[in-house]
Chain A
Amino acid sequence: MTVLRRLRRAGGWFAATWLVALVGLAVTAPWLPFVRAADEKVRVGGKLQSRYRLGPGRHALFGVDNSGFDIFARCIHYARNSLLVGVSATVIGLLVGGALGVAAGYFRGWVDRIVSVVIDCILSIPALVLAIVLVSRLDDIRQELPGLGWVTRRWQVVAALSLLAVAPLARIVRAQTLALREREFVLAARSLGATSRRVIATEILPNLVPTMVTVASTGLGLLIAAEGTLAFLGVGLGESWGYLIEANRRRLDKAWWATVFPCLMLFVTVMAFNLLGDRLSRRFDVREVIT
C-alpha cells in the first residue's frame, strides 16, 4: 500500500512540477536566452538548417522542421495558446455550467426541465463533432455579421470548447445540488428564514467547490487535448501543438522528432491535468468523474 501511495504522491508532484514549469516557460519565453523566437530559423555557422536537417541536439533541443524552425521553441511558444484556451474555456464552463446546474437542481420545475433537455442535447452530439462544426460556423458568421471583427480564431475555439465544458459540469452540479438541497443544514437555514439566494450562496455553493475543482481539473486536460485535436484537423489554431503534429506527421519516417516532441508535450500536459484531477478526487472523495 505504501508503495502505491508513494507512487501516487510522486505522480502528483510530477504533475504539479510539469505544469508550473510549462506555464513559467510559456509566459517568459520571449525573454529567455535559450528559447528562439517562434519564427526564427535555425542557422548553424550561418547555414540555414531546413528540410529536417538537424535532429534533436545541441543547436536545437527538439530538432528542426521542414522550413528550419526550431521545434523546441515552437512547442514552448505554442503552449501559451493551449493553456490560455483551456483555462478560459474551463473558467467559462465553471461559471455558466455551475449557474445552470445550481439553478436546475435548486429550483427544479420548469427550469430543471429546460436545462436538462439542453444538457441532454449537447451531450448527444459527440464533443469533437460539436466543436468542429461550431468553430467553422463561427468563422462564417463572423464574416457575415458586422461588428464582430474583434473575434479571433482563438476566441472561437474558446467559445466552442466552453460549450463542451458547460454540459458535463452542469449535469454534475445539478445532481449534487439535488442531493444537497435535501440535507438538514439547508433545511435549518431555510427554517431560520434564509432566502434562496442566501441558501445557495452560503450553504450550497461552498459544498460544490470540491467537486467542481476536481471535475474542472480533469476537464482541463480533456479540453487541451480537444484544442490540439481541432488544430490537428485544421479547424483550430495554427499556432498549436496539434498543428505541429499535423504539419510533420507525413515525414514520421524521416524526421520523427518533429512529430514526436509535440505529441509528447500534448500527452504529458494532458496526463498532468488528469493526475491532478485524480489527486484532488481522492483528497475530496469525489466519485463522479466525466467519462
Chain B
Amino acid sequence: MRYALQRIGQLLVVFVVVTFAVLVAMRLGAGGHRELARRMLGGNVTDQQVDEAVRRYHLDSNYLVQYLYWLKGFVTFDLGYSSANSMSVAKLLAPRFWTTALLGIYAIAVGLLLAVPAAVIQAHRRDSWIDRLGNVASFIGFGVPAIVLGIFLQLAFSLHWHLFPAIGDSIYPWQQFGAHVRNFLLPTLTLAIPQAAIYTRLLRADMVATLQRDFVVLASAKGMPTRRILWRHALRNSLLSIVTSVGTSLGGLLGGAVVVETLFDLDGIGSQMVISVLSRDLFTVQACVAFVVFIVVVVNLVVDLSYSLIDPRVRMARALA
C-alpha cells in the first residue's frame, strides 16, 4: 500500500511537470497575452472575443496560475477551443479517442498472440533453427521503421492481392463489423509487429532462464508432459516480463500510432495531433500531448501495481520493506 502511494506520487509529479512544460512551451514566445489569445483563437477575431478568451483562460496571469486553470479544465474535460475546427477540443477528440484506443488494444493483443507462442517455442527449442529464425525475425521487426513496414504491408496486401482497402475510414465494430476488421487489419499489423518483436525478445530470455530452474527439472523428472510444463508452469513464472514489456513499450506504440493513423488515413488522436501541429492549433495539440502522457503514466502505474497481484514474492518483499 505504501509502495502504491509512493508510485502514484512519483507518476503524478511526472504528469504535472510534463503538462506544465508543454503548456509553457505552447504559450511561450507570443508577445503579450492579447497576442497569445488571438493566436489561440485563430482567424479573425474581435477585440471583445480576445478579452473574453483572456478572462476565460486567465492569460494575463503567470504560467503557474494558467496551468492550474488548465488542469482544472483537463479534469473536467474542458480542454479549450479548437480554432482550426471551430468546435470544442473535447468534442473533436472524443470520437478520435476510440479509434486510437481500439488500435492500441488490437496491436497489443495481436502482438501478444504472435509473441507468446513464438517465445515459448523458441525457448523450448533453444539454438535450433526455429529459434534462430525467430531471433532474426524479431531483430528485423524491432528495427523496421513504421513507415516502411506500413508501406510494404500496403504493397503486399492491398495492391498485390486486393484484400484490404489501403486507405481506411474509421468504422467502429458496433457499426459494421466486417468493414471494421478490413479497415483496422493492416494498421493493427503495422503496429503489432514491432510490439511482438519486443515482447518476444524479453519473454524468450525470461523463459530460457525459467526452464533451467529446479522446479522445471523436477516436473519433467516426475513425468509431467512437456506441453504442460511449458505452457502452465514456465510461462506463468515468466509473465512478469511480458507485463513489463507492455508497459515500457507503450510509448513506442503511441508514437507508432501517430504514423500509422496518418499512413492509413484513420481519424485518431495521433493523426489529429499532426494536423493540429501543422495548423498551429494550440489547444488541440496541448490536449493531445497531455492525453497521451496521461495514458502512458496510468498504464505504467497499472503495470507496476499488477506485479504484486501476479507475483506473491513481490507482494511479500514490498510488505516487508
A-side residues, CB < 8 A to B, are 1, 4, 117, 120-121, 123-129, 132-134, 136-137, 140-141, 144-145, 221, 225, 228-229, 232-235, 242, 245, 249, 252-253, 256, 259-260, 263-264, 266-267, 270-271, 274, 278, 291
User: What B residues does A125 contact at CB under 8 A?
Assistant: 18, 251, 289, 292-293, 296
- Size class of the contact patch on chain B: 35 or more
Which of B18, B144, B198 makes the CB contact (< 8 A) with A121?
A: B18
Q: Is the CB of B254 within 8 A of A291?
A: no
Q: Is the CB of A267 within 8 A of B148?
A: yes
The yes or no answer to B105 lying at the interface (CB within 8 A) is: no
Bound state CA distance, A228 and B249, in angstroms? 20
Q: Which of B14, B22, B154 contacts A133 (CB 8 A)?
A: B22
Q: Give the interface of B toward A (CB within 8 A).
A: 10, 13-15, 17-18, 21-22, 25-26, 28-31, 127, 132, 139-140, 142-148, 151-152, 154-155, 159, 166, 198, 245, 248-249, 251-252, 254-256, 258-259, 262-263, 273-274, 277-278, 280, 285, 288-289, 292-293, 296-297, 300
Q: Which of A124, A228, A229, A252 contacts B296 (CB 8 A)?
A: A124
Whether A120 touches B14, Cβ cut-off 8 Å, given contacts A129-B292, A270-B143, is yes
Nearest-neighbor residue (CB-CB) of A141 within chain B: B29
A144 with B251: CB separation less than 8 A? no
Which of B127, B155, B296 makes the CB contact (< 8 A) with A126? B296
Chain A residues near B249 (CB-CB < 8 A): 291
CB contacts (< 8 Å) of A234 on chain B: these are 274, 278
User: Of A4, A133, A266, which contacts B147 at CB under 8 A?
Assistant: A266
Find the A residue at minimum CB distance from B149.
Answer: A267
Instruction: List the A side residues contacting B262 at CB < 8 Å.
Output: 232-233
Q: Which residues of B contact A245 (CB under 8 A)?
A: 147, 151
Are the C-beta atoms of B278 and A121 separated by less than 8 Å? no
CB-CB under 8 A from B13, the residues of chain A are 117
- What chain B residues lie within 8 Å of A221 (beta carbons)? 143
Cβ-closest chain B residue relative to A233: B274
A266 and B198 in contact, given A4-B132, A124-B14, A128-B255 (Cβ under 8 angstroms): no
Least Cβ–Cβ distance between A160 and chain B, in angstroms:
12
Question: Are A267 and B145 in contact, with the CB atoms below 8 A?
Answer: yes
Contacts of A141 in B (CB 8 A): 28-29
Q: Which residue of A lies closest to B166 (CB)?
A: A252
Taken together as a complex, chains A and B put the C-alpha atoms of A225 and B145 apart, in Å, by: 6
> What CA separation (Å) do A141 and B14 show in the bound complex?
25
Q: A129-B273, A270-B145 are in contact. Are A291 and B296 (CB under 8 A)?
A: no
Q: Which of A121, A144, A228 has the most CB of B within 10 A?
A: A121
Residues of B within 8 A of A129 (CB): 254-255, 258, 273, 288-289, 292
Contact B159–A252 (Cβ < 8 Å): yes
Given the complex of chains A and B, what is the CA–CA distance between A270 and B142 in angstroms?
A: 11
**CB nearest neighbor in B for A3:** B132
Partner among B159, B258, B300 whose Cβ is within 8 Å of the Cβ of A132: B258
A-B contacts besides A129-B255, A291-B252, 4 pairs, CB < 8 Å: A125-B18, A128-B258, A252-B159, A274-B143
Q: Contact between A133 and B289 (Cβ–Cβ < 8 Å)?
A: yes
Residues in A whose Cβ lies below 8 Å from that of B127 = 1
Nearest CB in chain B: distance from A78 CB, A: 15
Report yes or no: B259 in contact with A233, Cβ–Cβ below 8 A: yes
User: Do residues A144 and B258 form an inter-chain contact, with CB atoms below 8 A?
Assistant: no
Q: Which residues of B contact A278 (CB under 8 A)?
A: 139
Q: How far is the CB of A285 from chain B (nearest CB, A)?
A: 15
- Asked whether, in the complex, the Cβ of A260 is within 8 Å of the Cβ of B145, the reply is no
CB-defined contacts of A242 to chain B, threshold 8 Å = 147
Separation in Å of the B155 CB from the closest CB of chain A? Answer: 6
Residue of A nearest to B256 (CB): A128
* C-alpha gap A258/B143 in the complex (Å): 22
Query: Which of B25, B26, B151 contacts A260 (CB under 8 A)?
Result: B151
CA distance A242 to B150 in the complex (A): 13
Say how far A249's CB is from chain B's closest CB, in angstroms: 6
Whether A117 contacts B14 by the Cβ 8 Å rule is: yes
Q: Are B289 and A291 in contact (CB under 8 A)?
A: no
Known contacts A229-B259, A252-B155, A144 near B293 by CB under 8 Å: no
Cα of A127 to Cα of B26 in the assembled complex, Å: 17
Q: For residue B72, give the distance in angstroms from its CB to the closest CB of chain A.
A: 21
Q: For the complex formed, measure the closest distance between the CB of A267 and the CB atoms of chain B, giving whole angstroms.
A: 5
Q: Is the CB of A144 within 8 A of B18?
A: no
Q: Kindly list chain A residues whose C-beta atoms are within 8 Å of the C-beta of B21.
A: 121
Contact partner of A228 (CB less than 8 A), chosen from B17, B22, B147, B166, is B147
Taking CB atoms, residues of chain A closer than 8 Å to B277 are 132-133, 136, 235
Give chain B residues whose Cβ lies under 8 Å from the Cβ of A123.
Answer: 251
CB <8 Å contact, B17 and A132: no
- Residues in A neighbouring B248, C-beta threshold 8 A: 291
Contacts of A128 in B (CB 8 A): 255-256, 258-259
Q: From residue B259, how far is it (CB to closest CB) to chain A in Å?
A: 6
| Other-chain contact of A274, B139, B245, B278 (Cβ < 8 Å) | B139
The 8 Å CB contact of A267, one of B15, B144, B159, B300, is B144
Q: B278, A137: Cβ atoms under 8 Å?
A: no
Closest to B255 in A: A128
User: Which residues on the B side are within 8 Å of A263 (C-beta)?
Assistant: 147-148, 151-152
Output the least CB separation between A8 and chain B (Å). 10
Contact check, A124 vs B293: say whether CB atoms are below 8 A apart. yes
Given contacts A1-B127, A137-B26, A260-B155, contact A124 B144 (CB under 8 A): no
